[in-house]
Each structure stands twice: as C-alpha cells, then as structure tokens.
Amino acid sequence: MRVTNNIMTNSIVRYLSTQNEALFKRQTLIASQKRLNKPSDDPLGMGNVLDYRQTLASIDQYRKNIETGKTRLEVTEITLDLADELITLVRGIAQVESDGTTESRLKTADSVKSLFDQVLNVANTKFNNNYMFSGNQTKTTPFSRDDALATTFDKYTVTYNGDDGDVQIIVAENTVVRIDADGQPIFHDAASGGINIFDVMRDLIVGLENDDTAAISSQVDLLDQAGIQLDEIRSTSVPIISQLQTTEKYWLNYKPKMEQLLSKAEAADITEAVIELQAIELAYQATIATAASILQPGLMQFLK
C-alpha cells in the first residue's frame, strides 16, 4: 500500500492532537493539584468524590441546624426566665395587697395591668422573625387580648391563636430533635389541668379593682403554681440541649475524617505529573520536528 503525503499528514495531526490533550490534562492537574477534574478522568473515583462532598455538605447543614436549635433553646430559657421574674413580681403584689387598703389596691391594679402586658409580650416573643410559641403558625401572634371590650374581665381575657405544633431539627440522617413550640402548656394550660397564667393575673386585676380580699388572696397560690409550671417547662430543655451537644461533637470529630478521605481521593501526585508533562512536551516537540522534515520535501515537489 502506497503511503501518500495526505495519509502521513492526517496521521501526524491525530497524534499531535492526542499529545495536546495529554498536555492539557497534565497542566490542569498541576494547576488544580487534583487528579479528578471532570467525570471522564475516573468515573468510579469521581463517584466516590461526589459522595464525600455530599456527605460534607450534609454535615455542614446538620451543624447549622444544631446551632439554630441550641440558639432557640437559649432564647426560650431567657424568655421563660423573664416571664418567671414578672410572675414573681405579680405574686409579691398579690401577697402584699391581701392585707392592703382600698386605695393601695386601686393604684396597684394599674401596676399589675402593666406587668400583664409585659408577660403577654414575652409570650409573643419572636425568633428569626417567627413567633416562638404559636406552634406551626409561626406568622400568627400566639396570644392576644381585646382592649376594646367593655369590662376589665373581658379586656384581659387572652386567646391562644396558635396550634400544638413543634419545631423539628434534623441533626442526622433519619434523626430529628423536636422542640415544643406550643405556647399553651407554658402560659395557657388550664384545659390540661395546669395554670392559665393570664387568667390568674386577670382575676387578680379584677380583685384589686373590686377591693375583693378573698379574690386577691386566692391568686397567691395560683401564681406559685404558675412559677412551678414555668420551671417544669424549662427543665424539659435540658435533655434536648444535651442531645444537640452530643450530636454536634460527633460531627466535629467525623468531618475531618471525611475531609481526609476526599483529599486522598482527589489528590494528585504533582511530581509524577510534572515528569509526565515534560516527557509529553519533548515527544510533542519531536513529533513537530519529524513532521516538518517529512512533509517539507513533499511540499517543495508540489511547488515545482
């Protein structure tokens, strides 16, 4: 078979193209310091790399969720601690005014109204622009009263507008930590046998305005129970915080191991890549020189 100049030219062009691709691959590898820069470099290896990356992304999301959960529990503790302090102040007033005068009770009624609204504001606390104690109805104000009604009793009767939903914190695959977001057991628990804190404060206000010693005295014990109710709610956060902290520690220890596996899967042997690059460059230059010596005479003959 006669080898024509055209056949030789095409063969040289294909060989140069292959060498050029090899050069580019080594240059990319050296620049990125990674042996896998696209799936075709090693389909199986790239699959492992993508799995490691996905795992690391999930770990970062879990840790972010855990941090959000911890912060929410901290805000809840601060909020309920403030509510407890306010209720303690109200109890102190009730105890004093059990033996007070008509005049002092009328004056004190306004102070209790102010404390009532402070507790109401605490119960309507927001976290990340969402109401904390309205269950899943996070954009709905959980507790409200109608100041336009006729009597003090009606004005200071509070309605719960949320539901019994909770906050779900995903901390690992198939692992969810639930944080109660229902405000009823905290402030409005009469239906479940607990204390409706707003009703107790309302009845105290009415008792003060009506100079009703018996009504005032009866609220003291109920306010004691309200404080115990808050403390019990606060205590439920302890095991949840412990679980979040334990899980966070696990991910802190696990993440470096995954990063190490990813680095090992992606890492390139730079020394080997440089040697290969130099060898390919030499071969590339030699091919060009050889091609020039072979094709030049044929070109001169064509010109003649």
Contact 180/169 with Cβ under 8 angstroms? no
Single out the residue of 20, 60, 97, 55 nearest to residue 47, CA to CA: 55
Give backbone dihedrals phi and psi of 252, rounded to 5 degrees, phi first.
-60, -35
**Domain chopping of the chain, boundaries:** 1-33+274-304, 53-132+146-157+184-256
H-run or E-run covering 131: strand 130-131
Residue 192 confidence (pLDDT): 73
H-run or E-run covering 167: strand 166-172
Q: Does domain 53-132+146-157+184-256 have CATH number 1.20.1090.10?
A: no
Residue 14 confidence (pLDDT): 67
CB-neighbour burial class of residue 244 (10 A; exposed 0-12, middle 13-18, buried 19+): buried
The least confident of 136-140, 182-186, 212-216, 264-268 is 264-268
Residue 300 confidence (pLDDT): 46
Residue 292 confidence (pLDDT): 64
pLDDT digits (tens, 9 = 90+) for 136-184: 999 999 999 999 999 999 999 999 999 999 999 999 998 999 998 999 9
pLDDT digits (tens, 9 = 90+) for 4-36: 556 656 666 665 566 656 556 666 655 655 655
pLDDT digits (tens, 9 = 90+) for 226-237: 999 999 999 999
